[in-house]
């Protein structure tokens, strides 16, 4: 089968690429995606590729980004799904597979082996928006370049043990109510989790908010936060080193500076008008106001040029 579109993910490390070795996969044209969680805190070797996905996302929490490691080409079957004999194809069913380093287990929502969630690792069902936006970047790229629809299943069950064993309810393991039938899987397009794939019994990625990922991918927006009260802005087109993180920080800072300037200018205008009204009749107050407002405007333009990085030009 012909493979179309770019096969290497922009910016992804190829240092753990297995597609040219013993476990290289079959050619296909991806039209759906499956999300896993590693239930670990670091990148694994995947037994030298024997059980690897197409790509692994390792959270860099300090810098609020995900570092991607590619293991197989986009249109090459990966190996992170179970495939039983006599049923349906899983790994080779045109599916792109993502592993997200971290956990979906709610018992590790705040701490795990002495480590703190949100500091040392991510609990993906409560992942912050920056992490979901990083996943959304890849989802959007795959939609643009390979046509995987920006849709997902609606029922993402909380991580739990097989109902045959005591554990959390609802059970995402085993024959859970969210797992697809073989016929549903054969026609599926869009995004789902490991817990939804037939012939498999794993329950990851739990109640990951993938609907939020899809929403961000559709809008191409980095969400606002209460802290900076900024409107959502499109940063996908920003180019440069660490493009998304840099763009977000850059725009957030610029937005705050402009907001502060606007407040100062409004106050200055009001003060100037008050002072001008108190001047004697022999002074043209309108001329005074116009002259001062022009000076304020010129100053604002200069500051605006400085914060946007465009060099000032001498007249």
DSSP string across 6-54:
--S-TT-B-TT--TTSTT---B----EEEEEE-SBSS---HHHHTT--S
User: How far is the C-alpha of 236 from the C-alpha of 244, rounded, in Å?
Assistant: 7
Least Cα distance to 180 among 32, 3, 58 occurs for 32
Q: Which phi and psi (to 5°) does residue 125 adopt?
A: -65, -20
pLDDT 10s digit of each residue in the chain, 315 long? 668 999 999 999 999 999 999 999 999 999 999 999 999 999 999 999 999 999 999 999 999 999 999 999 999 999 999 999 989 999 999 999 999 999 999 999 999 999 999 999 999 999 999 999 999 999 999 999 999 999 999 999 999 765 555 554 557 988 899 999 999 999 999 999 999 999 999 999 999 999 999 999 999 554 433 333 333 333 344 333 444 444 444 444 444 444 455 555 556 666 656 665 655 556 566 666 666 566 655 554 443 333 333 333 332
Q: Where are the beta strands (DSSP E) in the chain?
A: 32-37, 55-60, 65-70, 95-100, 111-112, 115-116, 190-193, 221-222, 233-234
Q: Which phi and psi (to 5°) does residue 37 adopt?
A: -120, 145
Question: pTM above 0.75?
Answer: no
How confident is the model at residue 173, as a pLDDT? 83
How confident is the model at residue 295, as a pLDDT? 62
How confident is the model at residue 86, as a pLDDT? 87
User: How far is the C-alpha of 267 from the C-alpha of 314, rounded, in Å?
Assistant: 29
User: How far is the C-alpha of 212 from the C-alpha of 226, rounded, in Å?
Assistant: 18
User: How far is the C-alpha of 37 from the C-alpha of 57, rounded, in Å?
Assistant: 9
How confident is the model at residue 265, as a pLDDT? 52
For residue 62, list its beta bridge partners.
none
Q: Distances in Å between the alpha carbon of 278 and those of 267, 286, 291?
A: 17, 12, 17
How confident is the model at residue 46, as a pLDDT? 97
How confident is the model at residue 292, as a pLDDT? 59
How confident is the model at residue 246, as a pLDDT? 45
User: How far is the C-alpha of 162 from the C-alpha of 170, rounded, in Å?
Assistant: 9
Q: Distances in Å between the alpha carbon of 197 and those of 53, 74, 90, 200, 214?
A: 14, 19, 8, 6, 19
How confident is the model at residue 255, as a pLDDT? 46
């Amino acid at each position: 089968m012909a493979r179309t579109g770019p096969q290497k993910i922009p910016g992804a490390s190829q240092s753990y690429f297995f597609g040219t070795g013993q476990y290289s996969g079959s050619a296909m044209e991806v039209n759906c995606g499956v999300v896993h969680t590693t239930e670990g805190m670091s990148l694994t070797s995947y037994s030298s590729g024997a059980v690897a996905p197409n790509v692994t996302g390792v959270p860099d929490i300090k810098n609020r980004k995900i570092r991607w490691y590619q293991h197989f080409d986009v249109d090459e079957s990966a190996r992170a799904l179970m495939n039983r004999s006599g049923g349906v194809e899983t790994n080779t069913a045109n599916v792109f597979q993502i592993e997200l380093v971290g956990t979906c287990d709610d018992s590790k929502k705040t701490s795990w082996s002495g480590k703190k969630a949100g500091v040392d690792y991510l609990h993906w069902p409560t992942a912050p928006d920056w992490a979901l936006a990083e996943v959304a970047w890849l989802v959007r790229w795959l939609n643009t370049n390979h046509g995987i629809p920006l849709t997902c299943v609606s029922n993402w069950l909380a991580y739990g043990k097989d109902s045959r064993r005591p554990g959390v309810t609802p059970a995402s393991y085993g024959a859970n109510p969210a797992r697809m039938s073989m016929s549903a899987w054969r026609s599926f397009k869009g995004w789902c989790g490991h817990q939804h794939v037939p012939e498999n019994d794993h329950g990851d990625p739990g109640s990951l908010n993938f609907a939020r990922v899809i929403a961000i991918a559709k809008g191409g927006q980095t969400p606002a936060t209460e802290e900076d009260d900024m409107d959502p802005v499109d940063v996908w087109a920003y180019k440069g080193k660490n493009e998304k993180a840099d763009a977000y920080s850059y725009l957030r800072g610029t937005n705050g500076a402009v907001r502060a300037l606007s407040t100062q200018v409004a106050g200055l205008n009001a003060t100037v008008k008050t002072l001008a009204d108190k001047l004697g009749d022999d002074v043209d107050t309108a001329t005074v106001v116009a002259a001062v407002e022009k000076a304020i405007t010129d100053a604002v333009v200069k500051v605006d040029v400085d914060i946007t990085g465009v060099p000032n030009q001498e007249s």
